[in-house]
Amino acid sequence: NAGVTQTPKFQVLKTGQSMTLQCAQDMNHEYMSWYRQDPGMGLRLIHYSVGAGITDQGEVPNGYNVSRSTTEDFPLRLLSAAPSQTSVYFCASSSSRGTEAFGQGTRLTVV
């Protein structure tokens, strides 16, 4: 099993550009989430999903969209990138038992 796979690993965007961070898991987990990690802080929840077709907002959802058309995939879209969105982004998945598995992260810089 590959676990949770995120692409790309690194990305530089110009202010105002849009992009999609990809996340896929092969563990048949129902729950998937996106977090961002900023220096000196823990991870903060952006959006989460409890199953295909169901998504909800976390603590810091502004500027981000998600969709969950399949169990395996949970892409995160930045509609119009801003310097405040410079961060490291983590995708995670878990089963009903709750143990969270994380992807390798995407380091995003917005200039």
Partner 1 sequence: GIQVEQSPPDLILQEGANSTLRCNFSDSVNNLQWFHQNPWGQLINLFYIPSGTKQNGRLSATTVATERYSLLYISSSQTTDSGVYFCAGDQGGGGADGLTFGKGTHLIIQP
Judged by the rule CB under 8 A, the positions of this chain that interact with partner 1 are 30-31, 33, 35, 40-45, 48, 50, 58-59, 88, 90, 92-102, 104-105
Helix (H) or strand (E) holding 45: strand 43-51
Classified as helix, coil or strand, 83 is helix
- Least Cβ distance, residue 84 to partner 1 (angstroms): 19
Classified as helix, coil or strand, 76 is strand
Number of residues that make up the chain: 111
Residue number, 43 or 52, with CB nearest to partner 1? 43
Other CB atoms within 10 A of residue 91 CB: 26
- Least Cβ distance, residue 57 to partner 1 (angstroms): 10
- Least Cβ distance, residue 4 to partner 1 (angstroms): 10
Residue number, 32 or 81, with CB nearest to partner 1? 32
Measure Cα distances from 34 to 63, 110, 111 in Å: 13, 18, 22
Residue number, 35 or 78, with CB nearest to partner 1? 35
- Least Cβ distance, residue 75 to partner 1 (angstroms): 17
